[in-house]
Chains A and B, each alone.
Chain A
Amino acid sequence: MPSPGRAPVVGKRVQLMATCLCDAFHDDVAAATVEVLEHLGCEVSFPEGQTCCGQPAFNGGDWPASRRVVRHAVRTFCGADPVVVPSGSCAAMVFHGALLEFEHEADLSDVESLGRRTWELGDFIVNGLGVRSWPGRFDAAVALHRSCHTRGTGSSDAVALLVGSIAGVRLVEFGEGEQCCGFGGTFSVGFPHISAAMGDLKLEHVRAAKPDVLVSGDMGCLMHLCGLASREKAPLRAMHFSQVLSDAMRGPA
């Protein structure tokens, strides 16, 4: 899923798209994202009217419903400032998926323009702001789950670079890293059996690598994997990479 040609980042004002999952379940991830961006000197605004990127209906096939939600997002995130999202999946919805469902719509150019200034958080920090390393300390063996919607974008390498640069972090590889965790949004409820089997395999590979923490850039994947682990009474420590960055800043330098 190629990220579109982006306008270079000018200035330090950004709009935060927190994502519906963070809005409903993972406030700590959205908060960490704000802290990380502010640490980089960004002036973070949070458009209050924001809801969802439109992906659930887009993936479910209800494109008219999805387009209504995308149009709402286009109105909400107006202006020229970059939109930063702590999710590879929601970012890809804005700069790739939405373009597909607006192919024959009169307002395609509005959607394209939002897409050109929408960034996944790690991609923004590394490829937008040019930051190559992260300060502080975080003592842990970290397994990085590369979420599928960052395939073909700069996000996975960016997150690995940032997290790997933190003093005390040891990145551990696990088997079949290119395989999906089985979340897939509505897929997880329409295909519960296959989704859970995929998740169990991912957990098996991750556990075999014995990390202290599983880190990803998408809370959908982590919610699914942690939900499975918790159901099996074998809880998994997992964090969004923004939380690792923000913890590292606080930790002993």
Chain B
Amino acid sequence: MRTQPIDQFAAGVGAETRAAVYGGSKIGHEKRTKLLFDHYADPDRLRALAGEIKQHVVENLDTYLPAAEARLEANGVKVHWASTAESACEAVYSILKARGATRLVKAKTMVSEEIELDAYLRERGIESLETDLGEFIVQMDHDHPSHIIKPIIHKTRRQIAELFERNGLGAYDDEPEVITRRARQFLRHKYLGADAGLTGANFVVAESGRVVVVTNEGNSRFCLAATRCHIALVGIEKILPEDRDLALFLNLLARSATAQQLTVYNEFILGPRGAGQPDGPDEMHVIFVDNGRTDVLASDCRDILRCIRCGACLNVCPVYRQAGGHAYRSVYPGPVGAVLSPLLLGKAFPEKADLPKASSLCGACNEVCPVDIPIPDLLLRLRDKAHSEGIPSPGTPPMGAWAILATQPAAWKAALGAGKLLNHLPTSLIPVPALRAWESKRDLPPWRGGEFRKWLKKRRQ
């Protein structure tokens, strides 16, 4: 029996990378749990409340999105709608082109990864530079992020120091302070020379039109301080109804993502620079990106749109810890990615239909999710979807013969007895591929089919 693609990938991950991913995830999870349970008697109630608010938003986007648009426009923000990755890239490019901008600085935005904005702009002569330290390193190394919050969780200090040396950022030194200082020195000049700043948004509040961006490095603030134009790329699901909801969501996001009571820099952006304000962009654009989200909304997996991209489900996931983020072949890895990534593909779902299989369905992801997404249930629904669409799944044992046995008690009993032959067969001759796959790693206990039934009959005599 062939094994699943993610298992094959995991088998090839080097010991150093695995240790980095495992250690980083584990400590993230442990700190998060401590901070939540030390401060709150019942953090699960907060998660349930946040989940209800976000589910309400997801199911009422048709009213919240126009409301948000109206507030944003009233605040002086130009709102754009992009239904595909291509149209989102075009929207960014046309804004930059109209201003004659050629240098863009980016604070971390997952959506820009999702729509592959970098390559699009590069082909059109526009430099877009990542300013989040992790993303900066990923970009310099022509690599991909492997975690939603810690894009370089798979890298070691040594690898980063070597990368800096190769790229002329100073002689080898793997002290984190030195690495950070060198990146900072390089980036400060870039901020000053940039024509426009691009950010994502953690939340957009429908009531006020407030765009909320959080970072720990202050890089979003730098992206907006010196540039004259701010573009925010926002997935359509990022809406919150009211400003007061931020108290709950900023709290849960910081604790779940980075085990902080609050992220260090919280930007609450109400529009472009107003009269009398000394700093900030004169022009502000919000591009609402669909790119498959309305298809997700129409599906029975719409709960996944509650996600606030905290990465807690990655940190706790035993499969993610073993395989790392690159195994998922997607911008969004881990449990949330195993649901979201194949769904965002729409008709191309079969390309990633194996991702929902990459779970022991242990449920740890649901237990830590700040918006209480029932991720295992959604993974199961996608497995059903893949099966009912006839998509082949290497590594999934066929269930036809089992279902026949399991619905015919006489045949079941006969099979229980016949199974004893297994006790005398060498592994290579076991006629059931799934049992051979089991034996590739573990011994099988002796077959004792039917023994309990015999024991019970005797006891009842």
Residues of A within 8 A of B409 (CB): 48-51, 76
B67 touches A (CB below 8 Å): no
Bound-state Cα–Cα, A196 to B387, Å: 26
Among the 9-residue stretches A24-32, A105-113, A158-166, A245-253, the one with 4 or more Cβ atoms under 8 Å from chain B is A24-32
Q: Which of A141-196 contact B (CB under 8 A)?
A: 148-149, 151-152, 176, 178-180, 182-196
Residues of B within 8 A of A151 (CB): 362-364, 366-367
Bound-state Cα–Cα, A238 to B129, Å: 55
A-B contact pairs, 20 of them (CB 8 A): A24-B449, A31-B455, A51-B407, A56-B402, A63-B387, A68-B406, A100-B380, A148-B360, A148-B361, A149-B363, A151-B362, A179-B364, A180-B362, A190-B395, A190-B437, A191-B10, A194-B10, A195-B360, A198-B319, A226-B445
Residues of B within 8 A of A196 (CB): 441-442
Bound-state Cα–Cα, A184 to B441, Å: 14
**Given A63-B384, A188-B438, A228-B442, 11 more contacts at CB 8 Å?**
A57-B399, A61-B386, A61-B393, A61-B396, A62-B387, A62-B398, A69-B403, A69-B406, A72-B406, A100-B381, A191-B4
Interface string of A205-229 (1 = CB under 8 A from B): 0000000000000000001101110
B298 touches A (CB below 8 Å): no
Task: Tell me if B322 and A197 are in contact (CB < 8 A).
Answer: yes
A81 touches B (CB below 8 Å): no
A45 to chain B, nearest CB (A): 10
Q: A148-B360, A148-B361, A190-B4 are in contact. Are A61 and B383 (CB under 8 A)?
A: yes
Residues of B within 8 A of A224 (CB): 442
Bound-state Cα–Cα, A189 to B400, Å: 17
Task: Tell me if B399 and A187 are in contact (CB < 8 A).
Answer: no
Residues of A within 8 A of B393 (CB): 60-61
Most A Cβ at <10 Å: residue of B3, B397, B400, B441: B441
Bound-state Cα–Cα, A192 to B319, Å: 12
* Contact residue among A30, A76, A178, A199 (Cβ-Cβ distance under 8 Å from B364): A178
Task: Tell me if A69 and B407 are in contact (CB < 8 A).
Answer: yes
Task: Tell me if A27 and B441 are in contact (CB < 8 A).
Answer: no
Query: 8 nearest interchain CB pairs?
Result: A184-B360, A227-B442, A61-B383, A190-B395, A180-B362, A27-B452, A61-B387, A148-B362
Bound-state Cα–Cα, A52 to B446, Å: 19
Query: Chain B: which residue is nearest A182 at the CB level?
Result: B360
**Which DSSP category, helix, strand, loop or mixed, fits chain B's interface?**
helix
Bound-state Cα–Cα, A46 to B399, Å: 26
A31 to chain B, nearest CB (A): 5
B192 touches A (CB below 8 Å): no
Interface string of A58-96 (1 = CB under 8 A from B): 111111011011011000100000000000000000000
Query: Chain A: which residue is nearest B403 at the CB level?
Result: A65
**Which DSSP category, helix, strand, loop or mixed, fits chain A's interface?**
helix
B324 to chain A, nearest CB (A): 11
Bound-state Cα–Cα, A198 to B459, Å: 40
Task: Tell me if A184 and B359 are in contact (CB < 8 A).
Answer: yes
Interface string of B25-38 (1 = CB under 8 A from A): 01000000000000
B165 touches A (CB below 8 Å): no
Residues of B within 8 A of A25 (CB): 445-449
Query: Chain A: which residue is nearest B360 at the CB level?
Result: A184
Number of A-B contacts (CB under 8 A): 217
Bound-state Cα–Cα, A24 to B383, Å: 27
A182 to chain B, nearest CB (A): 6
A22 touches B (CB below 8 Å): yes
Bound-state Cα–Cα, A35 to B447, Å: 22
Residues of A within 8 A of B405 (CB): 51
B177 touches A (CB below 8 Å): no
Residues of A within 8 A of B399 (CB): 56-57, 60, 62, 65-66
Residues of B within 8 A of A199 (CB): 441-442
Residues of B within 8 A of A122 (CB): none
A18 touches B (CB below 8 Å): yes
Bound-state Cα–Cα, A141 to B397, Å: 38
B331 touches A (CB below 8 Å): no
Task: Tell me if A194 and B384 are in contact (CB < 8 A).
Answer: no
B175 touches A (CB below 8 Å): no
B111 to chain A, nearest CB (A): 30
Bound-state Cα–Cα, A50 to B358, Å: 30
Residues of A within 8 A of B453 (CB): 23, 46, 48
Q: Which of B375-424 contact A (CB under 8 A)?
A: 376-377, 380-381, 383-384, 386-388, 393, 395-400, 402-403, 405-407, 409, 412, 416, 419
Bound-state Cα–Cα, A194 to B318, Å: 9
Task: Tell me if A189 and B6 are in contact (CB < 8 A).
Answer: no
Residues of A within 8 A of B361 (CB): 59, 148-149, 184-185, 187
Bound-state Cα–Cα, A61 to B434, Å: 16
Q: Which of B120-154 contact A (CB under 8 A)?
A: none
B1 touches A (CB below 8 Å): yes
B453 to chain A, nearest CB (A): 8
Bound-state Cα–Cα, A1 to B449, Å: 30
Residues of A within 8 A of B459 (CB): 34
Task: Tell me if B6 and A194 are in contact (CB < 8 A).
Answer: yes
